[in-house]
Each structure stands twice: as structure tokens, then as C-alpha cells.
Structure 1
């Protein structure tokens, strides 16, 4: 690690030029080729997939692709008035000529008469596509919306609902740039140096820009969800600033202690640099753990996020050393440079003056004057403050542990009522065409019209048609069904017949009652209607796909969690050569994740404080978000675990005094961890200000978890638990120690840094 970092430092010009070429080249390639983001859900064994396969067999392909709705409403009169029709008909004729459109059913046609609401003020036209929404480009989607909306004026409102319409307004980066600016302010306050502030910001910006471009290029070789660029930027900016901050902090400590730039950078490389390498790889492993869920929708998100983290890690280990060569000692503030020039270096180990047998700083006992007379550097103010905080915690470890765990469990309680499901268009951002169309449909026809179910089946057996017709008649009286139009029997390409029965639920697509209706149809209603005929009917449609997707993710979530926790445990065991440190880290990370999910449930499902972040309607949590957030949270929490415990381990090997090691480790890293957490929270919180609900949930979830992890768990719970466990923290069976590879996060001690000879401390110290 030292050789790589120092090589980049010595060849700064070439390294910086190489990164600029990578950034510019990838960005230009992405803009030249464009992007093709697709929200593709492939559940081959599900009921909804079989229904879609049958629809694709319908002759002419009318039912094979996506179906959109152009909804229009008038504020006066009726939508059937001549002046309204004179504006709608030409617009629908233009829509019929758009790419991939195979059929447009107007509410003014005999077939479309049911598409006029009972109050006469709302109606919709159905637009059928020959392909799924993922095959429609963003430009073609915008063309549909623009053509439809062009008819809206003088009291007539026209909006579009459906998957194609959603592609017309892909999620944006929201307030990411505001978050990056806020992070810069925190860095400036923390370091007091403009150049120290610029280093993490520039490193993160270059690496994240390259990562987003890579994700855009990946869309041409694999399915990548529309939300992937936002998640990529979210993860990349968060960890990118943090990784650079860890290295810059350790580098500054070396420079302030009087080391040469290369010596200081080499020390930072084998301590913070190795921590960054391990933390970055852990985040990537956690994100790639989403492959265990075996759902192609998550693959693009997993790879895109991992690429962003990998690039930020590489930038911190290569680009950052090169930039540090350019700025030299300007990484310090003017006051710090003057102090260094006057021959008054500061302690490299913040908060680590000479220790007595009980782990109390000797300089604190003798006073500042005595410390300076003895020639010992005085610890910085922040180090002393964190030392006092650490001693207060380990002085009452049981109380600190119980109080912290109780607070976290309290925050996690709403998790017990979390409901996973796909939110409908009613939760789309205000002002979007899909949200407006949803509201118009719900007002004119009822909420179920925004997400109809489609029951399909082959009519090859005797009595099949009669069974479908009987099913339609029975569903007309079902309590959870609003309307059932007559079944359509369409010819299939192979010469057979496919039945298509549309069912409009009484509840909205995201309501639990609608999911219950889908399950009831499959488990009871359809089997009873087709009993004795040998006919198989399948429940499809967008709402049914969402139900199947949610169920598939719920079923596979335990395996995913076990995989991520298990791999992280193994990696931490290798790094810290301990069993209890990884075990407690895993349990604490689970607590932080539970608390974050509890906060999300309270805000997005219960509506608590939702208005503060623009949440005006409540709904379920998207089923893939717990997978994504858990991977991200577990990976990000390892950053602080490695940075904090790695420093505690350094002190333990020097002193063999557990309590002193905990105090000094927290004193040396507390300020940096807090600053890093604030920066990451600001970056994540900036995404909450965006309009997309999924991005809001991801931003708030990550921000909450990081805040809890850094401020509560790493700064309070970890020191308390490590004080309780004492020397047992570092226990590892000899046979396992011999079997594990050796990976140290420590700088090789020399001279004054050599381990202090000390009597073995009893367990508990």
C-alpha cells in the first residue's frame, strides 16, 4: 500500500492527468452513446409473468406491450361536448402515429364507452404499445407526454399515466450539489484550511462523475434501473468524501508532528489507507450481495453502486496522494504552519500524550506547562475532550450500554409494522403527469382504475369460456372489486384463443386490500371457477407484478441478510484477528439498520414529520429498498468500525491496556468520525430534498443510519461494550489465527512508537 501511494505522490502530474482523461473520456462516451435505463422485473416462475407471456401470444401484439392512459378532464361541461372532442381526437390521431404504438382506444369509440366517468367530467384513452416500457426510450416517452398535453388548455386538463409516462421524467440528482457544498463547509470548519477542504471534495467529485458515466454506459450491456444514477451518486459522494477525509486527517497529523510529506503520507497509507481499502471492499461485497436475491432488477443497482464505491476508493488511494503533492504543506492552516515553522510540532496521535498505568494522560495530570517543559507535544483540545468523553463512558459501561441499546430499540419499534409494496402513482412528485393522471382517474372512476388486474388463460379445453364468463359474473359481486368489463377472447398466434378479463379493484394498487384481492383470486376464487375444467388462469397486470415482486424479495431477504453479515464477519475477523469485535460489530450494525428502517416506517408509512421533507401522502416501502439500504448501511458502517477499532487496536498493541486503548482510540478518531458522519449525513440529506420518493427513502434511510452509527454507536456503544469485554475483545483461537491470512491496518512501530512494556492487564481493563 505504501509503495502504491508514494508512487502516485512522486508522479503526481501523470496521475492527475490520467484521472482527468478517465473522467472526460467516460463522460463524453456516455453523452455520445446516451443511456438506456430500464426498470425490468423478471420473475419467470410467477403468476404475473405467465399472464404476460399469454398476452404476448395475442395475434397482432396489441396486448404484448405496455398500456398507457391519456386522462383528460374538463372543469366545466362534459368531456363528450363537441368542443372538447374537437381537441382530443386530433391529439389521439397524433399519438397513434408515435413509435411502438399499435392501438389507441378513444373514449368516443363504441369500444371505449366505459372509459367515460359517470359524472361526465373525466375520461381516458388507452394507448397500447408493441413493446414493454423498457423498450421505449426516454425521448419517445417525452414525445408521448408532450403530444398528449398539447391538447390541454382553456379548462381542459390532459395527463398521462403508465410506465412509459414515468420514463419521461427520470429521477434527478436532487440537491446533491447542495449536499456537496455543505460538506465543503464542514471540511473547512474542521480543518481550517481551504486546500484541506478541497482535497476530499475534488477526489469525490472526480470519482463519482466517472462512476455515473460508467453506469450510463452499462445500460447498453445490461438492464439498469432508472434510479441507479441517483443511488450511484448517493453512495459515491457519501463514501468518497469520507475516504479522502480519513487519509487527509492522518496525513495532517504526520505533517503537524514534523514528519516529511512522504513520511507522513507513507504512515497514512499503511494505516488510514489500508482502512479505506478494506472498508471500500467491504462496501462493494455488501452491495454485490444483492445478487443472492436473484432478481435482475437489482443487478444493475448493485453493479453501479459497487463501481462508484470502487472508483472512490481508488481515487482516495491514487488521485488524493497526487493532489497532496501539489498543495504540499498548505494542507495545514496558516496557524498550524506557523507553529510548525517555529519548531513546535503537535502530537501526531491526537489525544495520546504519555499514559500512566491506569490509562490517564500524564500531561493532563502535570498540566500544560509541565508537558511543554518535558518536551512532550500537547494534545489538541478536541483530543482532550474526546478523552474525557471516552473515560466517562468506560467508567459506567453497563449504564452506557443499556441506555444506548434501549434508545436504538425504541427507534426501531416502528419496523414491526413495516409493509413492503410498490407505491402507486399517487405518491409520485407533485406536478408530475403521472401523479396528476392518477388523481384524475381516482376522482372520476375510483382508485382501482389506476391499477387494473388482468386475468388471462388459454381457452383450449371444453368449458373454459363458460368458466371465464362465470368468473366475471362472480367477481362483479366481490366486495373488493369495483367493476369487471366483459371478457375478451382474442385469437393467439398459434391458432388458439386467449381469454383476457380485466378486473378493477375497489382499492388503490398500493393498498393492502388490493394485494389481498390478488392472493384471494389465485388461492380461492379462480380455482373454484375453473374446477373440473382443467383450465389454468393467471392474474397479471402491473399491480400483480408488484405483488409478486414484493413477495419474492420478502422470501429471499433472510438469505441476503445472512450472506452480507457472514461475509462482513469473516472480513473483520481477518483484519482484527478477533471473534468478539466482528460479532459485536455485526450486532450493532443490525441495530443501526433496524433503527433506520423504523424511522423510515414512521415517516413514509405513518406520516410522522413527512411534511418537512415533502411527503404529503403515505404508502408502503418499496420492497427492494430494504435490500439496497441494508447492503449500503452495513457497508458504510464498516468505514467507522474499521477507522475506530483499527486505531484502538493500534493502541492495544502498544500498551496492552484495553481501557487506555479505547480512550486513546476514540480520542484520536472521534473528531474525524464525527466530521465524516456530518458530511455524509449532509450529502444523503440533500437527496431527500429531491422529488422522487425512492430517492427520498434511500437518502433519509442512509442519513439516519449514518448519524446513529457514528454519533451513538461508534462514539458511545462501541467504547462501552469494548470496556465491558476487556482483553476478550482480542481473543482468537490459535488454530484459527494460524489459518487466517494476515492483514494489518497498523503502521510498523519504530522508535518512540514501539510497544510500551507493560504488565498484562486483567480482563476488564
Structure 2
């Protein structure tokens, strides 16, 4: 079937490429322009990871019903004299103008809130006043329709607040004046994500081209996988646009899915083009002596080479893609919508990557395949040609990797032990892993809302969402007693007196930085007798993390069983899947160790440009994605290697020799593909979004380790150590493999 597919798309290449062009153009237009006038970037959100837990219930119980269905912008003014007549006049005029705008539901000017009888300050104004009395917040609430805020309304309110900000700055040049709010924060983060995506692609694509030029020695062969990668990016953006109508797509989802699609497509295109040159050269050589091939012209030989390529390397692409999709589908068992969105998006982009490898790249080979046997232009450059020929994509029978394997096979157990110990040492910082939420803690300095959020956090503590909040259904005395108990907990700096909201008593708990999650767990572990809830942003983070812990065993079970089954059906062995899974776990542990060392312990702060004090630990979402995608990529290279080892083993070679020739056949492609992926992830790690920094670094490390230490040293050593039992399976499983085994 795969051979026929390859020959068909190469023979009907024009129709195939026109179909791809139409689909990709539609994807690009819908993502960049949109169907209803909204582009993909307009439809992205930034609500952050959340679950429907205790913190969410506490928020629902105490939410302001009058503010339901609204969004707000704020004018932040700091380092001023609130008694200034000019300032008061400006704020009064601004509030009046805002109230007259159709769609503005409420305008709150703290200077206009009357004092209580006797002249004491009104508690309602407290959240809108700076802690040192030299600042204030003017708030304008706007109505939403079905949860969406009109862009024209947002712009009109923003323009009026900007005008007021300019006026206040002119009155007092020392004043800090900023306009901000949730709608603008989301806009700014989407803009940062878009810039990161463009920056990452500008780094990744040229670097990938350069590496493939070295591998293939010519622009044509190097360009074909790159075309597949660009097609994958466009397809991913189009599919994500469609998914925005089915679920909320966070900005992180877009960047993660795009970089995964880019990496997989380059991997698969590299493998297909390399194997095609190998198959085509072999057919041309055989045609000189084989009568059945001698009667075929060169074009027909090329079509047969495409068919053989899709039948071999294409099968590896299919198995690899399925394994990656299975690993990603395991995310669907988790509760947070953002993870499910990533799972759905990742599965779709894997399918696109598989299609580029099985359909688009073979169609391009149908056009340019005959020219790929000719030396590339770069090989004709004096001095450079000889160097590039040493990196040729078609590996000779004898070379670096075969010599390396024979050296490993002299002491396989010792090499395996050394490799495992090395990975365990790299992973040792993971023992101090602290799961946190960096997306809440770190706002990129390049964000247009950075100054607003920084000033808000530094000077208006009561205006920021509570990190920890006590909500209870009891009398005031009981709520006050609970507040006093919590006040005595170490790392709690203050607890406000209970106030009544919607019939519930609410106290705000102030905690030392990065201690909120521990405080939440301690409070929940010793609850009072009356009905109560512990809410706040840190409580929501705890609920989110706990939901991941609950879902992790099921996700791991799904991935383990499905991957084991797929590798068994491919190899007929139970030893190979078990060793592959075990090695991947150790390798991923090393990547997590580097993640902890670099971000939680702050050792990469200077290199990657972030403040280590802002990072409480490894982001929970990042950890989940790194383990999932890292495992998928590890299985990607496992398939590349295993497919060649099994191919040589089925040709009659001994297990030891098949390991040697299999690594020699695939080593260059694995290391080259790994190098490209490392550079792609490293490029995205230079972006501004903290989560993408962590994901980029961790996956770059995971792939670097997997494509070098694991695939070229550890796997050959372990497989050689187990060579007597490598292909073993229980007798009762033999009929299963005979009936359902994955073979041509």
C-alpha cells in the first residue's frame, strides 16, 4: 500500500502539488486574515491553566454579580498628590466622558467615593488607592456579549484613558501613569507570542537549511524537507484556527504546536530524501545487470525508487508519527482545557507532518528526484566539496558509526552502565523539583503591559488577585477565629479581617513570595468545623497541579501500553519495547534535571535573560509537555534506528552485526535530524515567554541527549548486552505478531 502510494503521488505530482498548494493557501489565509475578519492571533486567549476545583468554587461564591459579563480597563496613577486640583479635575472629566460611552457599565473614581460618616476612609476605596497614599486606580468596566468584548468599545475606552494619561504626565513629569487591564494584557501576550514565533522561525529555518546543505551538499535536496516544514507550519496554523471555534486556544498552544510540527516535518523530510537517494542509486546500479530493471527508463526507475522509499522510510515515518500521536493523546486524560487543547492540536499537527512525509515530499521527489543523484552545487566549491562528501546522506557500509558500535560491543555492559550513570547524574537535580506556575509569576519585559503590572503589584496590593483567600459560611466570630489561626502559620505575613461577600465571610491572606502553595496545603490540612473554602491564585495553582498528579498515572499507562504494543507489533519482541521505554524514562529524567538546574535554581538566568527570583519552580504545564513531547521525540529516533536494525536482521545478519549496520545506516540521519531539532528548540528558547523558554531548553536537551548519548552509545550497548534474548517474546504472543505484526 505504501509503495503504491509513493509511486502514485510521484507519477501524479502536478495534481498532488496543486492540491497541497490550494489547501495550504486556504490555511494561511484563514490563519492570517480569518473567515469572519478575525485572524488566528485575534482569536487566541491567555486565561492560563485552570481546573474546576476548590479555588474555582470559592471564586464563584464570592464573585461580584454586578461585574459579571464585564471586562475592565484601569488608569494607574502613582507618585502624585491625590489632593491636587488639576489631577482631580482630570479624573472627574475622564470619568464623565467614559460614563457617556455606550457599553461602559460602570466607572469608579476612588477620589469620588464619599468618606464614611465621621470622616473615616471608605473601605470600598482601599483597593483603588496605593499602599503609601500617593497613587490611585480609575476603573472603567465594559459589557461583553457571550463573553466577548467589542474591539471598537475597547479601543474607544483605551483611547480616552490614554488621553487622560498624557494629560496627567504633562501636569506632573515625575508621575507614573499607565493604562492596563485584562483585555490589554491578553493582547500584549499574544503580540509577544507572535513575535517569538516569527523570531524562532527566522532562526530555525535558515539553521535547518544550513545543516541540510552540509548533509546533502546541495540546495535542492536540502530544500525539499524545508518545504515540508513550511507546509507543516501553515497546516498547523490553519488547523489551530479551526479549533478556536471548538475550544479556547491559549497562546502557548500555538507556539508549542507550531514548533513540534516544524521539527517533525524536518525529521521526516530528511529521512525520506536521504532514503530516496539511497534507493535510487541502488536501482540505477542494479539496472546495469538486472534484465527486469534494464528495460525501464531513468524516469521509471525514479518512480520505483520513490515507491521503495515510501515503503521503507515512509513506513518508519508512519510508525514514528503514530507513536508520537499516541504519546500526545495521553494528554486527553488530564482535566485542564489547555492541556486537552494542546493534545488535540498536537495530534492534528502530527498527522500533517506524516502527510508531508508520505505525500508532499514524494510528490516533490517526482519532480526533482532525477536531479538528486547529481552532486550539489556546493560540492563543486574547491576545498568545500571534499568536506561535504564526508557528510554524504547515503552512509557507506563502513564508517564512523560502525567503528563506534564495534568498539562499544567490546564492553557493552560497561558502556551501558556508564551511560545510565551519566544520565542519572544529569537528572539528579530533579530530586529537588518544585512544581510551580511561572506563567503567573513572569510577565515578559517586552510586554506592553509590563510597566502597568509591575506598578500594580508593587503599589496596589489590594487591587491584585488574592494569592490565598479564606471563604467560609459561618458567623463573623468563627471567621475571625479561623483568620487568627491562619495568621500564626509561618510565612503568612498578614490576614485581613473578614468581610461579607454574597453572604460568605472572606479574608485575604498575604504570604511570603513563592510560599503560597505550601500555605494553601497547610491550611487545607487543618480545616475548621464550619463549611469553608481556600481560594486565591495560589490555591488555583495547587488545584491545577493536583489534577495533573491525578491524571499522570492514567496518561503514563496509556502511553506505556500503546507504545509497547506498537513496538511489539513492529519487532515481535517484548525485550526491545521494555528497554526502549526504560531508557527513554532515564533520558527524560536527565532533561528534567537540566530544567530544574537551569530555571528553578536559576543557572540559565543570565544566558536566557530572565530574573531567577521570579521563578518559584518548574512550570506544571511545561513539565507535562516536556515529558510528553520528549518521549514522543525519543520514540521518533528509536523508530529510525530500530527500523534499520530490524531490516538488516531480517536480511539474515546476526543480531550483533544488525546493530552495527543498522546504526551505520541510520546514525548520520539521526544525529543530523537531532542537531536540527536541537537548534530549532534553542531558537524558540530565545523568545520572551517564560514557558517557551523552559520548553525550548528542556526539549533541546532531551533531543541532544537522545540523538547522541542514547542512540549512538547507550542503545547499541544495551541491545548488544541483551543480544541472546533481544528478539524474545512469550510463546503465546507469537501468533499475535504473526497475525497483526506491522510488516509489508
Tell me whether the two structures share a fold, i.e. TM-score over 0.5. yes
1:217, distance to aligned residue in structure 2 (A): 1.8
Greater shift after overlay, 295-304 or 237-246? 295-304
| Residue number among 225, 228, 238 corresponding to 1:200 in the alignment | 225
> How do 1:247-396 residues align onto structure 2 when only pairs under 5 Å count?
247-259=272-284, 260-334=301-375, 353=397, 383-396=398-411
Q: CA 1:135/1:566 → structure 2, altered by over 3 Å: closer, same or farther?
A: farther
Deviations, residues 634-686 of structure 1 (Å, cap 9, x unaligned): 11111111111110111112233122111111111111111101111111111
- Which residue of the partner structure matches residue 177 of structure 2? 158
1:55 counterpart = 2:56: no
Query: What corresponds to 1:360 in structure 2?
Result: none
- Kindly report which structure 2 residues correspond to 1:505-516, keeping only aligned pairs within 5 A, or say none: 505-508=510-513, 511=514, 513-516=515-518
- What's the offset of the Cα at 1:388? 1.3
Would the aligned equivalents of 1:159 and 1:436 in 2 still touch at CA under 8 Å? Answer: yes
The 8 Å contact of residues 224 and 299 in structure 1, kept in 2 or not, is answered as: no
Moved more, 571-580 or 734-743: 734-743
What are the superposed Cα offsets for residues 587-614 of structure 1, whole Å, 9 maximum, x if unpaired?
1111121111111111111111222122
Q: How far did residue 576 of structure 1 move?
A: 1.2
- Matching residue of 1:116: 129
Residue of structure 2 in register with 1:709 after alignment:
706
Indicate the SS of the match to 1:32.
coil
- Structure 1: which 5+ runs fail to align? 340-344, 354-382, 491-496, 748-765
Measure, in 2, the Cα distance between the counterparts of 1:449 and 1:136.
Answer: 22
- 1:521: which partner in 2? 523
Is contact 1:397-1:721 (8 Å) kept? yes
1:540 maps onto 2:535 in alignment: yes
2:275–2:394 Cα contact (<8 Å) kept: no
Alpha-carbon deviations, 1:353-406, whole Å to 9, x = none?
Answer: 4xxxxxxxxxxxxxxxxxxxxxxxxxxxxx512221121112221221122111
Q: Does residue 1:595 correspond to 2:561, yes or no?
A: no
Distance 1:130 1:476 in 2: 38
Give the C-alpha shift of residue 452 in structure 1. 4.0
CA distance in 2, matches of 1:134, 1:588: 47
Q: CA deviation at 1:470?
A: 4.7
Q: Secondary structure at the residue paired with 2:618? A: coil
Q: Distance in 1 between matches of 2:102 and 2:277?
A: 59
Within-5 A mapping of 1:11-50: 11-30=12-31, 31-33=34-36, 34=38, 35=40, 36-38=43-45, 39=47, 43-44=51-52, 46-50=53-57
CA contact (8 A) 2:306 2:366 kept: no
How far off is 1:213 after superposition?
Answer: 1.4
Length-normalised TM-score, structure 1: 0.82
Judging changes above 3 Å, is the alpha-carbon distance between structure 1 residues 479 and 393 closer, same or farther for their aligned structure 2 residues?
closer
Task: Give the C-alpha shift of residue 165 in structure 1.
Answer: 3.9
Give the structure-2-normalised TM-score.
0.84
- The structure 1 residue matched to 2:206, chosen from 181, 187, 192, is 181
Task: Describe the SS at the equivalent of 2:603.
Answer: coil
Query: C-alpha distance in 2, partners of 1:695/1:141?
Result: 29
Secondary structure of 1:630's counterpart equals: helix
- SS of aligned partner of 1:728: coil
Query: How do 1:364-763 residues align onto structure 2 when only pairs under 5 Å count?
Result: 383-423=398-438, 425-444=440-459, 449=464, 451-457=466-472, 464-471=475-482, 480-485=491-496, 487-490=498-501, 497-499=502-504, 501-508=506-513, 511=514, 513-524=515-526, 527-528=527-528, 531=529, 534=530, 536-617=531-612, 618-740=615-737
Taking the aligned partners of 1:670 and 1:661, their CA distance within structure 2 comes to 13
Deviation for aligned residue 1:218: 0.8
Spell out, residue by residue over 1:416-451, the C-alpha distance to the aligned partner (whole angstroms, 9 max, x if none): 111112126542111324433343244335699564
- Kept after mapping to 1: 8 A contact 2:82/2:135: yes
In structure 2, C-alpha distance between the alignment counterparts of 1:99 and 1:599, rounded to whole Å: 53
Deviation (angstroms), 1:20: 0.9
Give the whole-Å Cα distance in 2 for the aligned partners of 1:42 and 1:303.
17
Contact 2:110–2:136 (CA under 8 A) maintained in structure 1: yes
Distance 1:139 1:619 in 2: 39
Shift of 1:464: 2.6
Deviations 1:21-80 (A, max 9, x none): 111122323422334334375633x21122133235x543x2676777654333xx5455
Q: What is the CA RMSD across the aligned residues, in angstroms? A: 3.3
Rounded Cα–Cα distance in structure 1 between residues aligned with 2:571 and 2:160: 61
Quote the Cα distance in structure 2 between the aligned partners of 1:447 and 1:655: 74
Deviations 1:220-247 (A, max 9, x none): 1223222111011111001010001111
Residue 184 of structure 1 deviates from its aligned partner by 0.8
Out of 241, 246, 253, the residue aligned to residue 228 of structure 1 is 253
- Which of 391-400 and 310-319 deviates more? 391-400
Alpha-carbon distance in 2 for matches of 1:72, 1:182: 46
In 1: Cα distance, 2:432 partner to 2:493 partner: 28
Shift of 1:142: 7.5
Residues 101-124 of structure 1 show CA distances to partners (whole Å, capped at 9, x for unaligned) of 654544423422454334344444
Does the aligned pair in 1 maintain the 2:570–2:743 contact within 8 Å?
Answer: no
Partner of 1:372: none
How far apart in 2 are the matches of 1:236 and 1:315?
10
Q: Is the 8 A contact 1:254 1:264 kept in 2?
A: yes
Asked if 1 retains the 8 angstrom alpha-carbon contact of 2:685 and 2:693, the reply is yes
Q: CA offsets, 1:139-189, max 9 Å, x none?
A: 877777666555154333334666544311212214223211110111111
Q: 1:561 to 1:482 in 2, by over 3 A?
A: same
2-side partners of 1:166 and 1:175: how far apart? Answer: 22
Q: Distance in 2 between matches of 1:303 and 1:140?
A: 33
Alignment partners' CA distance in 2, 1:178 and 1:349: 23
- Count of paired positions: 688
- The 2-side partners of 1:560 and 1:649 are apart by 29
Contact 2:479 2:505 in 1 (8 A): no
Cα separation, 1, equivalents of 2:316 and 2:575: 19
Structure 1: distance between partners of 2:151 and 2:325:
30
- Residues 616/138 of structure 1: CA separation in 2 closer, same or farther (3 Å cut): farther
Report the secondary structure of 2:508's partner residue. Answer: strand
Assess if the C-alpha contact under 8 Å between 1:40 and 1:296 holds in 2. Answer: no
* 1:210 is the counterpart of 2:235: yes
**Bigger shift: residues 319-328 or 446-455:** 446-455
Structure 1 residue 6 and structure 2 residue 19: aligned? Answer: no
Query: Alignment partner of 1:655: what SS?
Result: coil
Change (3 A) 1:473 1:652: closer
For structure 2, the residue ranges without an aligned partner over 5 or more in a row are 114-121, 285-300, 381-388
8 Å Cα contact 2:50/2:540 also seen in 1: no
Q: Secondary structure at the match of 1:175?
A: helix
Stretch moving more, 557-566 or 296-305: 557-566
Counterparts of 2:462 and 2:472 in 1: how far apart (Å)?
A: 26
